[in-house]
Amino acid sequence: MKSGEWAIAAAACLVGLLIALGWNASAATDPPRRPGTANVATPEEPDPNSELSRLRGEVQVLRAEKTRLENLASRNTDLSKELNESLQNTKLFAGLTEVEGPGVTLTLRDSKKPLEELPSVNDGIIHDADLIRVINELWNAGAEAITVNGKRAGPTTSYRCVGSVIVVDGARFAAPIVIRAIGDPQNLEGALNLPGGVLDEIRELDPDMVELALVDKHRFAAYDGPTKKSLARVPAEPDGDQDRS
């Protein structure tokens, strides 16, 4: 080896090493970021045939119910009791009664990671979009009642980001947001933990932002928002020209 050639050889070795490392770096793939979601990839059209047979079954049940009520009306003794039961069922569906049952508790909190470790400041914060997607996922998984920080979700409940807080039916909440749901706990947990699903995306940024627990018994207060409708009315006469959209 001529004088100094060992020096050039050493430098060339270093260059080779760097090239190999750079090659590896460009071969590494970035994990998908937030907007990608597995939920989009599972379109599920209801089967028209099974939907039709379900509706037919419901017609049968309603006709039988009508007959029973007519019979009761003719006797008038048990009518008020039956009406009350029917009313209670309707109120339960609308979230106007207290409810209790098993389910899950999900806590979403802002990331405590230093800002430098997050792709952007926004990613470390729980947004209304996260809340909306979690609640949508819960309803989809068969949740029967939901509260957000103790506030019961009713049929018209909305979730909005206003400044630094999330507004749920006029009440303001900052993180941590606690979402409780009544439903089959295993189903709810499975749906929330869907790979690539809503929680997965948040956990990818910071696992500490999400805390999910199964609960044997929840007890929720009733929906306390407004129930008055000013424009929607129940038609006096059912007709054939109903809005089917």
Partner 1 sequence: MSPWPLIALVVGVALGLFLGVPIPREWGPYLGVMILAGIDTVFGGFRGQMEGKFNPSIFFSGLLGNLALACGVTALGDRVGLNLALVVSVVFVMRIFTNLSLARRQLLTDWASRRDRARLEQEVARRAEESHE
Kindly tell me which of 17 and 83 has the beta carbon lying closer to partner 1. Answer: 17
Q: Smallest gap, in angstroms, from Cβ of residue 26 to partner 1?
A: 7
Kindly tell me which of 26 and 230 has the beta carbon lying closer to partner 1. Answer: 26
- Take residue 166 and report the two structure tokens written for it: 């999330």
SS3 212: strand
- Contacting positions for partner 1 (CB under 8 A): 1-26, 28, 30
Q: What is the C-alpha to C-alpha distance for residues 136 and 194, in angstroms, rounded to an integer?
A: 13
**Three-state SS sequence of 26-59:** HHCCCCCCCCCCHHHHCCCCCCHHHHHHHHHHHH
Q: DSSP letter at 136?
A: H
How do beta strands 145-148 and 159-162 pair?
Answer: unpaired
Q: Smallest gap, in angstroms, from Cβ of residue 29 to partner 1?
A: 9
Q: What is the C-alpha to C-alpha distance for residues 194 and 147, in angstroms, rounded to an integer?
A: 21
Q: Smallest gap, in angstroms, from Cβ of residue 10 to partner 1?
A: 7
Kindly tell me which of 24 and 164 has the beta carbon lying closer to partner 1. Answer: 24
Kindly tell me which of 1 and 232 has the beta carbon lying closer to partner 1. Answer: 1
Kindly tell me which of 20 and 221 has the beta carbon lying closer to partner 1. Answer: 20
Q: Smallest gap, in angstroms, from Cβ of residue 1 to partner 1?
A: 6
Omega of the bond prior to 176 within 30 degrees of 0, cis?
Answer: yes
Q: Smallest gap, in angstroms, from Cβ of residue 4 to partner 1?
A: 5
Q: Smallest gap, in angstroms, from Cβ of residue 30 to partner 1?
A: 6
Q: DSSP letter at 207?
A: G
Q: What is the C-alpha to C-alpha distance for residues 96 and 228, in angstroms, rounded to an integer?
A: 13
Q: Smallest gap, in angstroms, from Cβ of residue 117 to partner 1?
A: 12
Q: What is the C-alpha to C-alpha distance for residues 234 and 14, in angstroms, rounded to an integer?
A: 80
Q: What is the C-alpha to C-alpha distance for residues 220 and 97, in angstroms, rounded to an integer?
A: 9
Kindly tell me which of 29 and 245 has the beta carbon lying closer to partner 1. Answer: 29
Kindly tell me which of 3 and 49 has the beta carbon lying closer to partner 1. Answer: 3
SS3 99: strand
